[in-house]
Structure 1
Amino acid sequence: MAQPSNPPTPLEWVTVKTTRPKTPYPPMSTRQPIRTQRLILRPYAATDLNDFHLLRIQPEVMKWTSQGKPDPDLQHTEKILANRLPGTDGGEAAYEFAVCWAETGEMIGTAGSHMREGELGWPVIGYMLRSEFWGKGLATELVTALLKAYWALPREEVEIKVERSTVEGSEEEPQPERITAVTLDSNGPSQNVLRKLGFRLAKTWEEEDPKDPGVMELLYGFCLQTPNV
């Protein structure tokens, strides 16, 4: 892959005043489904287990996750799903949804903001789709809908530490809110989706691969400013 236009540099932190979705997020049980042309984004359900497992045993999907490899068995998947269900700490701590194929209702992926304070300090957005649904424009479709719902959440004023490259102008002034996405340098398709949706590449940096200690991996950090300014 070609070298990034901004070469990797160490992370540099500044403190800014900005806004963020109110803590806690609305309970998952109260989140209304989000419909797109071909998809339904809805709260997780215990009955999603088999479909969730189909997603999490695909090596081509899991290679991009922090786990880095498929789930070893159904019991492992069940434990992960159990912590994302309505009413659980994990389910309420993130703004996430099961992504379903509207035509059949089957769960084909997940999407949401899984961290309020991500690698660059701002909230993070991410998604996973079963590989047989790749190449159909679904990632763009679902992230567009998810962002619309995310920006409509109630806000609160906060003071947080963020990576300097995500800040425009003086960090002494209140900053418009941002959301970020982080990819490995080799994940070109996801980078293309983010650029299409208006995200800009703000930072590249290296970290030790948690799956392979001693090996460094190159990360791309993208950010998008709130449209509500």
Structure 2
Amino acid sequence: MLRPEYPIRTERLTLRPFADGDYDDLHLMTGDPDVVRYLYWEVHTPEETRSALARRKGQTALTDEGQWLVLAMEAAPAGEPRVVGQVVLRWASVVHRQGELGFTLSPAFQGHGYAREAAEAMLGLGFESLGLHRIYAACDTRNAPSWGLLTRLGMRREAHFVEDEIFKGEYGDQYIYAMLDREWKERQSSSR
């Protein structure tokens, strides 16, 4: 079980549960075709964003297999705090101690290291607080910024699934990246 103490602070981010006041920033993300291009949802209408926000507000802990922990990435790049993205961890298997990592960032804030900071914090929660053995991430092979980030995080590419599912009307390919708890520990000890 994982019930983080909020907020979680990184060098430049505050990771916290979503709140009612996050609607505008969330809709900038969920309503942007460039953001959702490689995600399983389509561009959100305002109503769909309101529904998504209500769901996210309840995804603040992992108490059972299959649940998602969904946190807002809040930054203040111009002095004014705002949600620049989201980072997620799914408790994929209790028995096998597996988790799944994901992240989404508004285009205006991509390329500044925010997703890396948030993903590293989520890996720490998964390995150190939840006691996971393996955390994986899946991404579309065309999404070079995402798989580039997974590589920089120290995750290894384990698989390339070719046309494994119909994605937005056509067969798509995806990469699977993963890291083990011992690799996380080695990476943490070498960075000190």
Distance 1:195 1:154, change over 3 A: closer
Call closer, same or farther: CA 1:138–1:77 in 2, change over 3 Å: same
1:211 — aligned with what?
Answer: 168
- Alignment match of 2:54 (pick from 75, 82, 92): 82
Q: CA 1:193–1:154 in structure 2 vs 1: closer, same or farther (change >3 Å)?
A: closer
Structure 1 residue matching 2:129: 3-state secondary structure: coil
Which letter maps to 1:98? A
- The 3 A distance-change label for structure 1 pair 184 and 115 is farther
Distance 1:75 1:112 in 2: 22
C-alpha distance in 2 between matches for 1:147 and 1:70 = 28
2:148 equivalent among 183, 188, 192: 192
Does residue 70 (structure 1) correspond to residue 43 (structure 2)? The answer is yes
1:219 positional shift: 0.7
Q: Does 1:59 align with 2:16?
A: no
CA offsets 1:139-196 (integer angstroms, 9 cap, x no match): 22221222223322244xxxxxxxxxxxxxxxxxxxx811001111111111111111
Name the counterpart of 1:44: 18
Q: What stretches of structure 1 of length at least 5 have no aligned partner?
A: 1-21, 156-175
CA contact (8 A) 2:140 2:174 kept: yes
Distance, in Å, in 2 between the alignment partners of 1:137 and 1:148 is: 17
* Aligned counterparts of 2:130 and 2:137: Cα–Cα separation in 1: 21
Give the letter aligned to residue 136 of structure 1: H
Instruction: Sort the Cα spacing of 1:91 and 1:32 in 2 relative to 1 into closer, same or farther, 3 A.
Output: closer
The higher relative CO (CA closer than 8 Å, separation ≥ 6) is in 1
Given the alignment, which residue of 119, 123, 136 partners 2:112? 136
Question: Any unmatched runs of 5+ in structure 2?
Answer: 62-66, 187-192
1:128 CA drift (Å): 0.5
2:5 corresponds to = 31
What residue number does 2:125 align with? 149
Indicate conservation of the 8 Å contact 1:31/1:42, yes or no: no
CA contact (8 A) 1:83 1:91 kept: no
TM-score (norm 2): 0.81
How many angstroms apart in 1 are the aligned matches of 2:114 and 2:106?
11
Match in the other structure for 2:90: 114
Q: Report how many aligned residue pairs link the two structures.
A: 173
* Cross-structure match for 2:190: none
Q: Given that residues 31 and 43 in structure 1 are in contact (C-alpha distance below 8 angstroms), is that contact kept between their aligned partners in structure 2?
A: no
Find the residue that maps to 1:151 and give its secondary structure: helix
Over the residues paired in the alignment, what is the CA RMSD in angstroms?
Answer: 2.1
TM-score norm. by structure 1 comes to 0.69
Look up the equivalent residue of 1:65 and give its one-letter code: L
Q: Which amino acid aligns with 2:99?
A: P
Paired amino acid for 1:224: M
Name the amino acid aligned to 2:175. Answer: Y
